[in-house]
Amino acid sequence: MSASPAHPTPVTTTLAVADRGHGPLGSLVRHGWEGFRVGIVDAPWMLGVRAPDRGRAILVITIDGELAVAVRDAVPGGMAVVRDGRSHDGDAIAAACLPWPWMVVGSAVTLTPALASLLRNRPVLTFWLGDPPIGLPSHARCFDRPAALLDAVQRACTASVGGMRLAPGSGVELEDGTLLRSATLESLIAAYPRGFALPARTFRAVADALARHNAGWSPQRDGAEGTTLVRAAARSQR
Amino acid sequence: MRANPEVLILEDDAETLDELQSHFTRKRFHPLGARSASRALSLLENNRYSSRPVLAIIDWDLGKAPDRTASSGDVLSRLARELRECPVIVYSQNIDAFNVRSQIQRSHPRALLHDKRDGDASLLERIDRMLDRTVGDLRIHDGTVVVHLPTLDQHHHREAIRLVVHHPDIVTFHSDTATKAVRRFGEWLHSHNSAVRLVSHGNRKYRLSATAPEVVAPDGDA
């Protein structure tokens, strides 16, 4: 894992953008009551849901946002931010989740090529309600009932493997109290005992970090489950 | 010198706005009150270099606003983009409707929701619970100081108050000055043997923890 500092979160000055294009707050807002036309303002890039952030994020992509509201209620306070996306802006919201969304939940929408590529190349927990769209990775989990999906979301947030658990907001707290900042490790812990059908190089940095901290666990390819966490002792026996 | 932390209040009803402003003034906060969204946006713009509110109270329904050129959603989006560290409470008569909640979440994914039908007293109670917090052996007093209860020593910086208000969530700080203030607060906690510790998540992100983990260097993908 690199010790170099990560890039700072980009900042957009919304009023400056408004001023350039439309005069002082001109066409951004139109008539204002009841959060008027929040989803269809002239400048949808200004919606808060598209603001870049490095916190743990759950991107929920649906037609109407109802599932996102339910997911938000299911997530324990402070563990993750739920980002309510639609099929037309799912890509943009996913790009704003840095380094990538921890979890993507979807229902009744198609996957854009960019989002499908992200899900196939990064260890993103992928939960789907109903029939899966084309392009979902093989490690995606599909659910028939919302209650089962919400239960899985809750379990992922509170997962614990060998004393390692998700820290509030971001990172992983190891058994010895060390806070390890690794999006990949967060995904491995939340997915356990399942894994990710991704190349071994995706997990090399996590393996090195866990070995450095004598965590007793390491990512390893485990047949049908893909790459998952296994006890270091078990690993040496294989 | 103490800098009273600002609280942004967007409420279209003049009487309710007065009540909320008086409440915060009594608690030694500096209320930035607005009856319209455009006024709230102006307040944020005018204060952007001098201060950042520690809390925002937003009425989602602005039917009585004198100026309707902006919406509560615009204020929330602005807060989400540029004042992420500011906790936001949004209240509405229709907070149960999933489409209202969805719109609020798309404007500000971290916004806390409150049912306006529970009355103003309920909102004030909730605000007080947030602002008069006790975290470990620390307590906010009069909105302007963090008190270390065993010694009664005080720390006055508003960024310290922000961290206590946010506990256990992560707070992102946006300037070197704020980051330095946070580190000084961390040293102050250490020098007082406080049960609360400052935890750095890198990239100017910090949170308070009662059982502080040792923090290691970031990895490549975090």
Q: From the candidates A11, A29, A30, which should be mutated to test the interface with B, based on the most B CB atoms within 10 A?
A: A29
Q: From the candidates A4, A7, A14, which should be mutated to test the interface with B, based on the most B CB atoms within 10 A?
A: A14
Inform me whether the C-beta atom of residue A15 falls under 8 Å from chain B C-beta atoms. Answer: yes
- The B residues from 7 to 36 touching A (CB cutoff 8 Å) are 36
Residue A238 has pLDDT above 70, yes or no: no
**Per-residue pLDDT tens digits of chain B, which is 222 residues long:** 456 778 999 999 999 999 999 998 988 888 999 999 999 999 988 876 666 788 999 999 999 888 888 999 999 999 999 888 788 999 999 998 999 999 999 999 999 999 999 988 899 888 888 888 889 999 988 777 899 999 999 998 888 988 998 888 888 887 888 899 999 999 999 999 999 999 888 888 898 987 644 444 444 443
Least trusted range by pLDDT, from A16-20, A158-162, A166-170, B200-204: A16-20
Positive or negative, the CA dihedral A155, A156, A159, A165 is negative
Inform me whether the C-beta atom of residue A10 falls under 8 Å from chain B C-beta atoms. Answer: no
Predicted pLDDT at A175: 85
Contact list in A for residue B86 (CB cut-off 8 A) is none
Whether omega before A146 lies within 30 degrees of 0, making that bond cis, reads no
Predicted pLDDT at A33: 41
Contact list in B for residue A163 (CB cut-off 8 A) is none
If one counts every other C-beta atom within 10 angstroms of the C-beta of residue A153, the result is 25
Question: What is the per-residue pLDDT across A60-107, written as a single tens digit (0 to 9) for each?
Answer: 999 999 999 999 999 998 899 999 999 999 999 999 999 999 999 999
Comparison of pLDDT for A110 and A5, the residue scoring more: A110
* Six-digit token string for A133: 């769209």
Predicted pLDDT at A27: 35
How far apart are the C-alpha atoms of B148 and B136, rounded to whole Å? 9
- Which of A44-58, A149-163, A207-221, B19-33 is most confident? A149-163
Question: What is the per-residue pLDDT across A218-232, written as a single tens digit (0 to 9) for each?
Answer: 999 877 778 999 998
Q: Which residues contact B215 (CB under 8 A, 6 or more apart)?
A: A178, A179, B199, B200, B201
Inform me whether the C-beta atom of residue B141 falls under 8 Å from chain A C-beta atoms. Answer: no
Q: From the candidates B46, B61, B77, B129, which should be mutated to test the interface with A, based on the most A CB atoms within 10 A?
A: B77
Predicted pLDDT at B211: 62
C-beta atoms of B219 and A35 within 8 A: no
Inform me whether the C-beta atom of residue A115 falls under 8 Å from chain B C-beta atoms. Answer: no
Contact list in A for residue B37 (CB cut-off 8 A) is 29, 32
H or E segment to which residue B197 belongs: strand B197-202
Predicted pLDDT at B35: 96
Residue A144 has pLDDT above 50, yes or no: yes
Distance from CA of A172 to the nearest CA of B (A): 10
Q: Is A84 helix (H, G, I), strand (E, B) or coil?
A: strand
C-beta atoms of A33 and B215 within 8 A: no
A48 close to B75: Cβ distance less than 8 angstroms? no
Residue A12 has pLDDT above 70, yes or no: no
Distance from CA of B206 to the nearest CA of A (A): 10
Task: Give the one of B38, B174, B202 whose C-beta lies nearest to A181's C-beta.
Answer: B202
Q: From the candidates B42, B170, B214, B219, which should be mutated to test the interface with A, based on the most A CB atoms within 10 A?
A: B219
**Sequence ranges of the domains in chain A:** 15-156, 161-236
Predicted pLDDT at B41: 93
Task: Give the one of A15, A32, A179 whose C-beta lies nearest to B71's C-beta.
Answer: A32
Task: Give the one of B63, B73, B218 whose C-beta lies nearest to A5's C-beta.
Answer: B218
Contact list in A for residue B36 (CB cut-off 8 A) is 32
How far apart are the C-alpha atoms of A188 and A102, rounded to whole Å? 10
Question: What is the per-residue pLDDT across A14-36, written as a single tens digit (0 to 9) for each?
Answer: 433 333 333 333 333 333 344 44
Q: Is A57 helix (H, G, I), strand (E, B) or coil?
A: strand
How far apart are the C-alpha atoms of B11 and B16, rounded to whole Å? 7
Positive or negative, the CA dihedral A149, A153, A158, A160 is positive
Predicted pLDDT at B185: 95
Nearest CA in chain B to A206: B219
Predicted pLDDT at B3: 62
User: According to CATH, what is the number of the domain A15-156?
Assistant: 3.40.50.2300
Nearest CA in chain A to B214: A178
Predicted pLDDT at A35: 42
C-beta atoms of A48 and B106 within 8 A: yes
C-beta atoms of A34 and B62 within 8 A: yes
